[in-house]
Chain A
Amino acid sequence: MKRLLLIFLFFAFWMVPLLAVAEESYTFDPAETEKKPYHVGGYFEFKPILYGLNHDSAFYKVRFFNDPRGQNLLEANGRIQLEGSYEKNIFRIYAKTNTDLKSSYSGESERSTFYEFYGSVKPSSNLKFDVGKKTMKWGKGYAWNPVAFVDRPKDPDDPETGMEGYMLATADYIKSMDGPLKTFSFTPVLFPVYDHVNDTFGNNYKLNVAGRFYFLLYDTDIDLLFMTGGSRTDRYGVDFSRNISTSFEVHGELAYVRNFQKNVLDINGHPYPVEGDAVSYVIGIRHLTTFDLTTIIEYYHNGMGFSGDDMKNYYGYITRGYDTYQTTGNAIALGNAQQMAEGSYGRASAMENYLYVRFSQKEPFDILYFTPSITGMMNTDDQSWSLTPELLYTGITNWEFRLRTGIIAGARNSDFGEKQNDYRIELRVGYYF
């Protein structure tokens, strides 16, 4: 924790002279517009979080059964992202690293990786090839993207955070036209899964093929998407986005996954496989009022998610395992439950039906660059929910300050009711350079 604070103070102290410069009178030197062949930049973040623990919840028991904590848990997180690019003629190379630092009750940890690292060739304005590690970010949904077949799952709690990419080879072919079809583009993707190459994605030793066809047709964005190849079962998707008026947008996604398999627990805690075709979809709107209130509403059906009974069986398995541990010290069941929590049972939006509502008011009371917002997410099957009020200020050039609180509520055996925390308070201070 001290180390993280020291790093933050060092950066803050170093940047103060730059803040003073930002207050000087403006000029526009044409030299500022000169293009350089290289670019170097980055982002630094300090994020302390206070968790209010729910000692009766299933996920608290799984995580802390052999190391019980008090009512609260303080954690300090840091993040350093560096990015650089070099461009010459039709060639470009781009890299973005990410280092996550964490200081909590269990000690300090650090994980560094390349989020992206790829080379590009652009022989013409309508054709581009990329090879390397890259994020594709397919889909139109804000909180969820069931058609993002070649991306890691998005965190609906923080959908705008940068994500780690996958190793792949891709191309973009673009064609513009007059008439109702204004734009067509095709993005094929070769997606290898081998030892040390995307090996957490799915079945090994497969070369997968994915693709996206994009159309701007009658002022509507439409994508047709697919992925096949064996690492995961074949899947097909479609998405759309359209402005109904200048202040009202609608969007949606639909994914069809063939022969999807998942392992679930029966009432006695025995795992068994479930296989079948699955359909997931998102439908949503984005609306802006004349007084700058933006509303985002999305409904998500996760056809690959767990049903209420599946989750009840899992929570029951944890409860029995916890009781066994308390009486005998045998932690085998809880160890298994921990593994399942790290897999599909513990991921965000693991169940079937969710509603997401976000209101953000831009610059209320004439406070420039200040955006308060409130986000609610509900599991519509069990009516458990989370509510996240947030204050964001970006008034100091290159700095971003965000204070948010997360309140979680739900009955026993419900999605949010069995989360590790009852609430959390989080401050994020970010600096771009």
Chain B
Amino acid sequence: MSSAKAHNLRENNMIKKLLLICLLIVPVACPAFAEDGKALLGQVDRNLNPESYESYRKLINIEPSGAKKEFTLFTVKKGIDKVASLFLAPASEKGRSTLRLGDNMWLYIPNIGKPIRITSLQSVVGGVFNNADILQLDYTAEYNVEKVEEKGTQYLLYLKAKTKSVAYDKLKIWADKDKNLPTKIECLTEAKMLIKTLYFKDVKDFGGGIVRPAVIETDSPLYKGYKSVMILAKIKEKTFKDEAFTLTFMPNLESLR
């Protein structure tokens, strides 16, 4: 056996050993990594908003021409899977309300007079934000963390939807390491096609220990030149009775304000 052959053999054995060690380590390390990722995502959720809260938001759709359309919403959330929103403005939308219970979503229009089922990918306001964005649940409620990477001062979390009924199959969340708040989120399809990007800006103290971005901008390669902005004016921790999150209650959401 020549010395070169012997060297190659030793090298191959070394690679095999390294591969074996990797194979043994990965299954042990991954759950811990996933657990860390889950905890990290949970912190991001809680830093964005309390589990149960009320908030006032404005959604602005901006067209390439600069024309804008604004919607003001009062939103209430309870637990992991109950969200309801009431349109306060403009006059053409006033009194409309939306309700989300897990994967179920309804829209109540006063003229139609009864809630109709809607889907997460539709948009009750038009523009880049869809119903899943407007009636956002906690990320931990809908996604598992597949992987976490460190990118300088930020974490990059790779999320995978728990079920097929979630609006986006994959999310990539860039979160600030110090504040544990998202700075950017990419929403992707199962085939990793980018649907939209959310940019979190203007971190503000809303009182009650809530310090979070007040502005979320979004754009989409599917809506070239269009932009939608969500501005948070008020948010505070508050609990509501379960009955407030029912179809029968939808015409009465105003009474919660």
List A residues at the B interface (Cβ < 8 Å): 22-23, 26, 28, 30, 32-33, 35, 39, 41, 87, 92, 122, 125-126, 128, 135-140, 142, 159-163, 172, 174-177, 182-183, 185, 187, 214, 216, 219, 221, 241-243, 245-247, 249, 251, 286, 288, 290, 292, 294, 362-363, 366, 368-369, 394-395, 397-400, 432-433
Contacts and interface: CB of A to CB of B under 8 A. Distances in A.
A249 B117 contact: yes
B233 A33 contact: yes
B119 interface: yes
Contacts of A26: 58, 60, 68, 70, 229, 231
A243 B252 contact: no
B55 to A, nearest CB: 10
B67 A432 contact: no
B119 A125 contact: no
B216 to A, nearest CB: 13
Residue among B56, B72, B92, B94 with most chain A CB within 10 A: B92
Contact of A366 (B111, B223, B234): B223
Contact of B243 (A176, A247, A399): A176
Contact of B69 (A362, A397, A432): A397
Interface stretch (B10-18, B21-29, B120-128, B175-183): B120-128
Given A26-B58, A87-B255, 16 more contacts: A23-B67, A30-B234, A32-B88, A39-B94, A160-B109, A162-B111, A176-B243, A183-B246, A185-B247, A219-B102, A243-B104, A246-B164, A288-B119, A362-B126, A366-B224, A398-B92
A128 to B, nearest CB: 7
B4 interface: no
B120 A214 contact: no
B247 A125 contact: no
A183 B231 CA distance: 32
B143 to A, nearest CB: 15
A399 B91 CA distance: 10
Contact of B90 (A125, A176, A241, A397): A397
Contacts, number: 158
A137 B72 contact: no
Contacts of B233: 28, 30, 32-33
A172 B167 contact: no
B114 A137 contact: yes
Contacts of B226: 366, 368
Given A32-B89, A41-B91, A246 B119 contact: yes
Contacts of B146: none
Contacts of B66: 23
B103 A41 contact: no
Interface of B: 56, 58, 60-61, 63, 66-70, 72, 74, 88-92, 94, 101-104, 109-114, 116-117, 119-123, 126-127, 164-165, 167, 223-226, 229, 231, 233-234, 240-249, 252, 254-255, 257
Given A125-B249, A288-B122, A368-B126, A33 B74 contact: yes
A290 B103 CA distance: 18
Given A398-B90, A398-B92, A176 B121 contact: no
Nearest to B78: A176
B126 A128 contact: no
B206 to A, nearest CB: 11
B205 to A, nearest CB: 14
Contacts of A366: 223-226
B73 to A, nearest CB: 10
B12 to A, nearest CB: 49
B241 to A, nearest CB: 5
Nearest to B112: A160
A216 B247 contact: yes
10 contacts: A26-B70, A126-B243, A174-B248, A176-B241, A176-B243, A187-B248, A216-B246, A366-B225, A432-B90, A432-B91
Nearest to B224: A366
Contact of B58 (A28, A394, A432): A28
Contacts of A219: 102-104
Contacts of B90: 397-398, 432
A139 B114 contact: yes
A176 B78 CA distance: 13
Nearest to A162: B111
A24 to B, nearest CB: 9
Contacts of A32: 58, 72, 88-89, 233
A286 B117 contact: yes
A395 B117 CA distance: 24
Contacts of A242: 117
A8 B252 CA distance: 33
B25 to A, nearest CB: 38
Contact of A182 (B101, B164, B167, B249): B101
B29 to A, nearest CB: 34
A30 B55 CA distance: 11
Nearest to A433: B91
